[in-house]
Every structure is written in structure tokens, then in C-alpha cells.
């Protein structure tokens, strides 16, 4: 069984409604998944929900619900967001599912048996909100703790700890010798800086059940549940195990059921995550895997944070973007386009409604929409919608850009890919202005020149549809439909020049990006 290209997202805390940051990350992963499929890879794309822990338990309590009931009710709206975003995920993990819990417990059992844990009493400052003990290093210069920790209490309790110190050296060596492991490079440097300047503290991997019961029971001590991060990170491997991935099943434990299917997924090719959870993924997760005898993921692709109008997105101040409302108003492809075109994967970004509207008008409506609409309308008007003989005038420029887009896809440079595609669109729109087919149409002596121009324009539209398809799948399908072609092609070879045959009759042209006030109609 061939190993698939395996891509994951962070799994979102189920303690509220999805926001822009959640949607952005899922769209990044989806575009990478779609582009790799187009390039011929067998892909497996996993996303899901992080349902245990204090945050979720508190959110359930505040609604007067049992945590499981609360999760079941809310998970539906998150799963429908995945659909609304057009995600092509192959599975959706919920950490309350038995298939996940079994693997977490098997891993705990194995690591306990192999002496990676010890039990100890700890007294210190604790942030219930972030579910973590704080140290002196977390104090601000004035001695207080940052308000983002919420209420900080004094706590004394027994817990199990994961011995991390012995892992520090190999992890530094690994990250140094695998520059691709954490991307972009400045995030890698951040991790290396942290590892070189601090001694790793052992990680507390349990919570006493008497204090927090909404977690996976620790299999070797019924007084404890699993720390939510130890539980959540394992999702990346638990779903492969549930689908019969021998690499995970063999490493983690013989007590796991062996399913009939046998997908080969691990190690993950890309974990897409936000910058705030880098330490969990670049330090704790590799150590957990190494201790379990599993290979490390090939890459952590770390994106930045969105702000709105240069201020933190925050429910309490009302500074939020509801991705569903934006999609309902502007369409899914406009949302996908804006977030990926506006913000490269890495730095922080700033959402403005005016910026969104401006990109919609300039790049989608006047750029792509105008090119397709006028090209197909002219073919319809001047040639009854019948494609003329193949002509190669724009072939070199299209091939050059298609090549650049392919390279950008392979490098996960999604913003760069969009910039290349839009350079091609601009070039094609200039071609219309330069060749002036509307003038050629008035002169019968120019009929063969008009044929050439119309072929080039129609074929550019078709290839642009293939190139935008991972980003704007709905629009790409509509362009194909308007071209009178069958379903969008599934392989990148469709972007080769000249596949549109002479004599083919196109369908009906219609605006792809109507004016904003017409979108809702």
C-alpha cells in the first residue's frame, strides 16, 4: 500500500463558534490538499475538533449542559462550517470518539510501561483558564501574571510527569539538520532559540479527576484524566491507527483493534498550525513520537494571526469576523481568495472590510470575471460559440506561468501561486485590449486573425480555470461549465496548451463575480 500525502490542521477547541483564524487555517490545508491531488498525489486530509479539557468543560457548564451533550450539539455547526468552506477533508476527528481515545490510552500505557513517566507532587501557581501551571518566568516585570492567563490560583497536587530533559539534545540536532521541519525559517529559529536557552521542564500530562473529569481516563491510574494537549496532539496518529496504518498500530500497541482497511499515512507530510501552538508541535509532539518509536512529521507549516482593523480579534470587544456571514454575503470563493491572497503563510495579517471589497472588485470581478466573461461572450457573438482552429500565440506565456504555479504549489507558496495566476490574467486582459477583437470583427478581411485571438482567449480561460481550481473550486467549475466542458479535470496535465478542440461548442457565458449589491439576489 502506497503511503499517501498526509496533511492535517490543528483541531479547534469546541468552546465557542468558529472565527476567521480557524477558517483561514482550514482553507490553507484544503488548497494544499487540492493542489497535491491535481499534481497526482494520493492525499489524505484530516481536520477536526479538540473536545476535552477545562475550556470545554467550563463552556458546557455555563450553558447548563453535560460536556458530551454540549459537544455533540456544537460539533454539528463546526462540521457544517467545514462543508461551507468547501473543504475536501477525508476524515473529521472528534477527540471524544472511541477510536481516538483507544489510541491515546494505548500510547499512555506504552510510555508508562517504558518508564517515561513519574508521579510527583507539585505546588505552584496555576491558570485554570489555560489549564497549565505557571512558573516564575511567566511573571511580568512588575511581578504580576498577564491577564491573558485569567485568574491565577495556588495549587498543590499529585500528577504524572513526562520526562523531557533527556530529549533536549537530539531534538535540537534534529531541527538543525532538518531545515524543512519547521517553516517558515523564522519560526524554526524561534524554536531553536527556545530549546538552546532553556532547560526543558518535565511535562505534566495528567489532571486529577477530582478537579477536572472531562478528559480521557488515564489507563494506569483511575484518579487522573489525560492533559488535553497530550490527548489532542495524538489525533494526528490516532486516526491513521483507526484506519489501519501499520506504522502507528505496530508502534503504539498490540491491544489496538486491527481494522479491515489498511491506509498508509504516517508520518504526516504537513501539520498546518498557528504560531501560538508552535511549542506544542515542535517540542512536545516530536518527543512524544520519538518516545513511542514513531517517525516525526515531515513539516510544521506555521501561519500567522489575523487581526481585524489592526486590533486583536476578540469576542468580548466584538471585534470579530464571522466567516459564515462573509461567505453568505460574498460567496465561498471570494472568502478563500481574500484570505490566501492577502496573507502569506507566516506573518500576521489584518482584515479590513474595505480591503476585502477592493480585492473582490479589482481582482475577481474586473480581473478574472471580466476576462472570462468577455472572452466567452465574444466567441459566442462572433463565432456562434464554436471554438476555432488551435492557435499558439499565448502558449509560451501560459506555459511559463503554469510552471511557476506548479513550483509554488510544491513549495506551499499559496500567495505566490495566486500572484502568478493573476499576472497571467492581467496579461490575457491586455491581450484583449491589444488585439481588439471587437474591431477585428468589423473587418471581414481579419476573420482568420479574429479566429486566432478567440482561440487564444478561450484556451487561456480554460487553463486559468485549472490553475485556480484548488483556490476557487466553485468558480473553476463554473468556468468549465460555461466552456461547455465536462467536470473539472483532476490532473494538472489538463493545464497543457491546446487541449480545447476546434469545433467544440461552448455553453452560456454568465458573470462569475456579480457586483456586490447583486451577490445576494
Residues that bind ligand ME8 (CB under 6 A): 10-13, 21-22, 24-25, 50, 232-233, 273-274, 276-277, 305-306, 313
Which three three-digit cell numbers place residue 457? 482567449
Q: Which residues contact 250 (CB under 8 A, 6 or more apart)?
A: none
Q: Which is nearer to ligand ME8, 21 or 215 (CB)?
A: 21
Q: What is the nearest approach in angstroms of ligand ME8 to the Cβ of residue 58?
A: 14
CA dihedral sign of residues 355, 360, 361, 362 = positive
Distance CA 136, CA 70 (A): 36
For every residue of 126-154, DSSP letters joined together read EETTTTEEE-GGGB-TTSPBPGGG-S-EE
Q: What is the nearest approach in angstroms of ligand ME8 to the Cβ of residue 191?
A: 15
Q: What is the nearest approach in angstroms of ligand ME8 to the Cβ of residue 505?
A: 46
Q: Which is nearer to ligand ME8, 12 or 90 (CB)?
A: 12
Q: Which is nearer to ligand ME8, 20 or 256 (CB)?
A: 20
Tell me the three state secondary structure of residue 433. helix
Q: How many residues does this entry show for the chain?
A: 521
Q: Which is nearer to ligand ME8, 24 or 382 (CB)?
A: 24
Q: Which residues contact 142 (CB under 8 A, 6 or more apart)?
A: none
75 contacts 52 by C-beta, under 8 angstroms:
no
Q: Which residues contact 319 (CB under 8 A, 6 or more apart)?
A: 308, 309, 311, 312, 313
Residue 386 burial by Cβ neighbours in a 10 Å radius (0-12, 13-18, 19+): middle
Q: What is the nearest approach in angstroms of ligand ME8 to the Cβ of residue 275?
A: 6
Q: Which is nearer to ligand ME8, 18 or 437 (CB)?
A: 18
Q: Which is nearer to ligand ME8, 244 or 297 (CB)?
A: 297
3 contacts 69 by C-beta, under 8 angstroms:
no
Q: Which is nearer to ligand ME8, 28 or 421 (CB)?
A: 28
342 contacts 422 by C-beta, under 8 angstroms:
no
C-alpha to C-alpha distances, 293 to 71, 106, 158, 223, nearest whole angstrom: 33, 13, 28, 27
Q: What is the nearest approach in angstroms of ligand ME8 to the Cβ of residue 417?
A: 20
Q: What is the nearest approach in angstroms of ligand ME8 to the Cβ of residue 466?
A: 29
Q: What is the nearest approach in angstroms of ligand ME8 to the Cβ of residue 303?
A: 6
Residue nearest to ligand ME8 (CB): 274
Q: What is the nearest approach in angstroms of ligand ME8 to the Cβ of residue 161?
A: 20
Q: Which is nearer to ligand ME8, 141 or 147 (CB)?
A: 147
Amino acid at each position: 500500500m502506497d503511503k499517501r500525502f498526509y496533511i492535517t490542521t490543528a483541531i479547534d477547541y469546541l468552546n465557542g463558534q468558529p472565527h476567521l483564524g480557524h477558517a483561514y487555517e482550514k482553507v490553507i490545508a484544503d488548497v494544499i490538499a487540492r493542489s497535491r491531488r491535481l499534481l497526482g498525489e494520493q492525499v489524505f486530509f484530516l481536520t477536526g475538533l479538540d473536545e476535552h479539557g477545562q475550556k470545554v468543560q467550563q463552556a458546557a457548564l455555563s450553558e447548563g449542559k453535560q460536556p458530551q451533550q454540549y459537544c455533540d450539539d456544537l460539533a454539528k455547526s463546526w462540521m457544517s462550517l467545514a462543508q461551507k468552506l468547501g473543504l475536501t477533508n477525508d476524515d473529521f476527528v472528534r477527540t471524544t470518539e472511541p477510536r481516538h481515545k483507544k489510541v491515546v490510552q494505548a500510547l499512555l500505557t506504552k510510555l508508562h510501561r517504558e518508564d517515561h513517566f513519574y508521579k510527583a507532587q507539585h505546588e505552584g501557581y496555576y491558570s485554570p483558564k489555560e489549564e497549565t501551571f505557571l512558573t516564575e518566568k511567566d511573571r511580568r516585570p512588575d511581578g504580576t501574571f498577564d491577564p491573558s492567563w485569567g485568574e491565577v490560583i495556588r495549587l498543590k497536587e499529585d500528577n504524572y510527569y513526562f520526562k523531557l530533559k533527556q530529549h533536549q539534545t537530539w531534538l535540537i540536532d534534529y531541527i538543525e539538520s532538518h531545515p524543512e521541519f519547521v517553516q517558515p525559517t523564522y519560526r524554526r529559529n524561534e524554536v531553536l532559540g527556545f530549546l538552546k536557552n532553556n532547560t526543558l521542564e518535565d511535562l505534566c500530562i495528567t489532571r486529577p479527576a477530582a478537579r477536572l473529569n472531562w478528559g480521557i481516563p488515564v489507563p494506569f491510574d483511575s484518579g487522573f484524566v489525560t492533559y488535553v494537549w497530550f490527548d489532542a496532539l495524538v489525533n494526528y496518529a490516532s486516526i491513521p491507527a483507526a484506519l489501519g496504518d501499520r506504522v502507528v498500530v505496530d508502534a503504539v500497541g498490540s491491544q489496538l483493534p486491527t481494522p479491515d482497511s489498511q491506509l498508509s499515512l504516517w508520518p504526516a507530510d504537513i501539520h498546518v498550525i498557528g504560531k501560538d501552538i508552535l511549542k506544542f508541535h515542535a517540542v512536545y509532539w516530536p518527543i512524544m513520537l520519538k518516545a513511542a518509536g514513531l517517525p516525526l512529521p515531515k513539516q510544521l507549516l506555521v501561519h500567522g494571526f489575523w487581526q481585524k482593523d489592526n486590533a486583536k480579534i476578540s469576542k468580548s470587544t466584538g471585534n470579530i469576523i464571522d466567516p459564515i456571514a462573509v461567505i453568505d454575503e460574498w460567496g465561498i470563493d471570494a472568502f478563500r481568495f481574500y484570505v490566501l491572497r492577502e496573507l502569506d503563510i507566516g506573518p500576521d495579517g489584518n482584515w479590513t472590510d474595505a480591503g476585502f471589497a477592493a480585492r473582490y472588485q479589482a481582482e475577481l470581478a474586473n480581473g478574472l470575471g471580466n476576462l472570462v466573461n468577455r472572452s466567452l461572450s465574444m466567441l459566442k457573438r462572433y463565432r456562434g460559440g464554436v471554438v476555432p482552429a488551435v492557435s499558439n500565440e499565448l502558449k509560451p506565456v501560459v506555459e511559463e506561468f503554469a510552471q511557476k504555479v506548479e513550483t509554488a504549489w510544491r513549495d506551499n507558496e499559496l500567495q505566490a501561486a495566486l500572484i502568478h495566476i493573476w499576472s497571467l490574467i492581467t496579461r490575457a486582459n491586455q491581450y484583449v485590449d491589444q488585439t481588439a477583437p471587437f474591431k477585428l470583427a468589423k473587418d471581414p478581411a481579419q476573420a482568420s486573425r479574429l479566429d486566432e485571438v478567440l482561440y487564444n482567449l478561450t484556451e487561456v480561460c480554460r487553463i486559468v480555470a485549472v490553475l485556480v481550481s484548488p483556490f476557487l473550486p466553485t468558480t473553476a467549475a463554473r468556468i468549465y461549465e460555461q466552456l461547455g466542458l465536462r467536470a473539472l479535470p483532476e490532473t494538472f496535465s489538463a493545464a497543457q496548451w491546446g487541449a480545447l478542440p476546434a469545433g467544440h461548442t461552448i455553453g452560456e457565458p454568465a458573470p462569475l463575480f456579480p457586483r456586490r449589491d447583486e451577490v445576494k439576489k
